[in-house]
Homo-oligomer: A and B are copies of this chain.
Amino acid sequence: MKPTACRALASAAALVLSVCAAHADEKSVGKGMAWTIMEDLTVETGQRLAGSPEEAAAREWAVTRLKALGFQNVKNEPFTIRGYVRGHDSAWLTAPYPHKLAITALGYSGTTPEGGVSGDVVYFPTLDAIKAAPAASLTGKIAFIDHAMKANQDGSGYGPYGNVRRQGPGIAAAKGAIGVVIRSIGTDNHRNPHTGAISWPAGVSAIPAGAVSNPDADIIARVARSGKLMRLSLTLTGRTQENMPSGNVIADLPGRDPSLPMIIVACHLDSWDLGMGVIDDGAGCAIVTAAALKVQEGGKPLRTIRVLWAGAEELGGLGGQAYAKAHAKEPHALAMESDFGADRVWNVKFTRLAPQVAESIKTALNPLGIVPNAGAADGGADVDAIIKAQKLAVIDLAQDGTRYFDLHHTPDDTLDKVDPAQLQQNVDAWTAVLKIVATEGGALIAP
């Protein structure tokens, strides 16, 4: 396209987008119950790192609020976890040029002395590149692992690129590195690093491991291309701690027929500590809770709907595992989870759902702009264990993830990032689905 044509079209395009944004604002004047739950939770509890006193306070908050909203059997169900306690995080590129880097420790990072550790940097453009490095080749060095994750609507890049964070530190440690820094697993270009948990392999001792923001990683990549020797000074004083308190909060809307296996709808209450835990996952808790209540507005549902606000999801779905163990004897029929931000639902997937129920759901969701997707529904980390244990039917209401990894696990996970109109579309979609499944007296699980 010619620049002049581009300019004219871009102006028209910008106008359309601004009109549409204004439209969304108008719609949001009455922000509704989901917004209220999300705002109150995240403002009144702040960050809710798994195992922290703030997560515990948030459980108390949740119990109080869910009771006030009319839920029954509201319970705080404690369990203990291996957690991570943040210390001071800082990093400097000290050679060839001085740059203070925006860094965060990753969850379960090793601990540096207060004065930090320093080393020459070995640059790896990909996870495969560090995998291919010879054994012991990183002895005394700090590894830097780059990658090229891009935004996409279904968030599927998080699987492969997320491995840079999950596996990269263990690979570096096994080859002798004294520290490891990765490009954040994120798609924004702000000076905010993305945290998240590491999976250390058995037999490998944790080393200090952090993520720098994308603009900081760009500096490192530029200098790497110059071939000049890079040195990094890394201070990450946090530590891993055993036997920290976490817990789930559960709350029921009892059905008219207690003999029917229940429906469980989940989110997670814990968050990473850099932001406010709004899109991850205060919004999810708000969506599932507001939708369940909306269903009950039309009268008591046939089946019980249980809401699970899980703890310690961010450290490996620990709340979901605790739930499945504690509630193994209660019959469940169907599980759903909301844990992918607050942008609009654009497709629906089913696993083991009775076909006639799936057809009703497809019809109900079509006016909301939601189309069927042929892939399998997998629920999510908070319901994964109970799904597997009881072979449940699963429905995924897949949200638009284009912006999700701009914000996920960063300081930027704050209220202003939520579009009230899209949040409400989520509630509408969840309400439509829950109405159908909670009034279905026949089998929900396909034979």
> A residues touching B (Cβ–Cβ < 8 Å)?
1, 3-4, 6-7, 9-10, 12-14, 16-17, 19-20, 23, 27, 39, 43-47, 54, 96-100, 102, 189-192, 214-215, 218-219, 222-223, 275-276, 369, 410-412, 414-417
| CA of A26 to CA of B301, assembled, Å | 58
Query: Which residues on B sit within 8 Å (CB–CB) of A412?
Result: 190-191, 215
Closest B residue, CB atoms, query A214: B416
Q: Are the C-beta atoms of B189 and A190 separated by less than 8 Å?
A: no
Give Cα A215–Cα B279 distance, bound, in whole angstroms: 14
A1: chain B residues within 8 A (beta carbon): 19-20, 23
How many copies of this chain does the complex contain? 2
Q: How far is the CA of A46 from the CA of B94 in the complex (A)?
A: 11
In the bound assembly, the distance between CA atoms of A219 and B46 in angstroms comes to 10
From the candidates B6, B46, B275, name the one contacting A191 in the complex (CB within 8 A): B275
Q: Give the 6 A-B residue pairs with the shortest CB-CB distance, closest first.
A: A13-B13, A191-B411, A215-B414, A6-B20, A13-B16, A9-B16
What are 14 A-B residue pairs whose CB atoms fall within 8 Å in the complex? A9-B20, A10-B17, A10-B20, A39-B222, A43-B97, A43-B223, A44-B97, A46-B97, A191-B410, A191-B411, A191-B414, A192-B192, A218-B414, A219-B276
A1 to B19, CA, bound (A): 8
Contact of A219 among B10, B23, B43, B222 (CB under 8 A): B43
A47:B100 contact, CB within 8 angstroms: yes
A54-B191 contact given A16-B9, A20-B9, A215-B414, CB 8 Å threshold = no
Q: Determine the chain B residues whose CB is within 8 A of the CB of A190 once the complex forms.
A: 190-192, 412
**Chain A contact residues, majority secondary structure:** helix
Q: Which residues of B contact A218 (CB under 8 A)?
A: 414-416
CB distance from A87 to the nearest CB of B (A): 13
CB distance from A345 to the nearest CB of B (A): 13
Inter-chain contact A369/B416, CB cutoff 8 Å: no
A300 to B149 alpha-carbon distance, docked (Å)? 49
Closest chain B CB from A317 CB (angstroms)? 26
Measured CB to CB, the nearest residue on chain B to A9 is B16
Are A417 and B191 closer than 8 Å at their CB atoms?
A: no
Alpha-carbon separation in the docked complex, A14 to B403 (Å) = 14
Which residue on B lies nearest to A192, using beta carbons? B191
Contacts of A45 in B (CB 8 A): 97
- 6 further contact pairs, Cβ within 8 A, besides A43-B219, A44-B97, A190-B192: A1-B23, A13-B17, A46-B100, A189-B417, A191-B412, A214-B416
Task: Tell me the bound Cα distance from A23 to B4 in angstroms.
Answer: 11
Q: List the B side residues contacting A191 at CB < 8 Å.
A: 190, 192, 275, 410-412, 414
Chain B, Cβ-Cβ closest to A15:
B13
CB distance from A163 to the nearest CB of B (A): 24
Residue among A3, A54, A189, A191 facing the most chain B CB atoms (10 A cut-off): A191
Q: Tell me the bound Cα distance from A80 to B96 in angstroms.
A: 28
Task: Give Cα A102–Cα B274 distance, bound, in whole angstroms.
Answer: 10
Once bound together, how far apart are the Cα atoms of A39 and B218, in whole Å?
Answer: 12
Q: How far is the CA of A368 from the CA of B7 in the complex (A)?
A: 12
